[in-house]
Amino acid sequence: MNKAVFLDRDGVINRDRQEYTFRVEDFVMLGHLGEVLCGFMEKGYLLIVITNQAGISRGLYGHGDVHKVHDHMVRSLEDEGVRITDIYYCPHYTSLGRCICRKPDSGLLEKALARYDIDPASSYFIGDKPRDMEAAEKAGVKGIRMTTNGDLRTVRDLVK
């Protein structure tokens, strides 16, 4: 079985602006990502992004906007030697209907676990919100909470 480091997006990979980030010009990656993520890859981890994108169901932006931002993120990380295995996002908003993919539920994590034959007990989810930790727990993955917009280096040694 494979092992993975799951990563929340806003506040972990890019600066959480306290409003939706759906334009490339508003997407600012946090420092030292390449260094830390390359280290995870060297330890044999797949890198998978798990993110809520409720602005889609609220009509603020579309799937195409999210794909543009994600393409930019993937290309920027590739320039630093990082390979993102996959990106999963939930477009739903809780007041507009219930779903099992929106964190704190674990649907996206479970989908990735199955698709990539990932052992949850050997995997981690790095996030900055309680909902990330709750989703990790539901999926049987070890949760690591970091400070929003913090330095990923502060938690890298927790990934064994």
Q: How many C-beta atoms lie closer than 10 Å to residue 126's C-beta?
A: 25
Kind of pairing, strands 86-90 and 45-52? parallel
Element (H, E) at 39: helix 33-42
Contact 139, 106 (CB under 8 A): yes
Q: Which residues make Cβ contacts (< 8 Å) with residue 67, sequence separation at least 6?
A: none
- On whether the CB atoms of residues 26 and 61 are closer than 8 A, the answer is no
132 labelled catalytic: no
CB 6 within 8 A of CB 15: no
10 is catalytic: yes
d(CA 135, CA 127): 10
- Residues recognised as catalytic: 8, 10
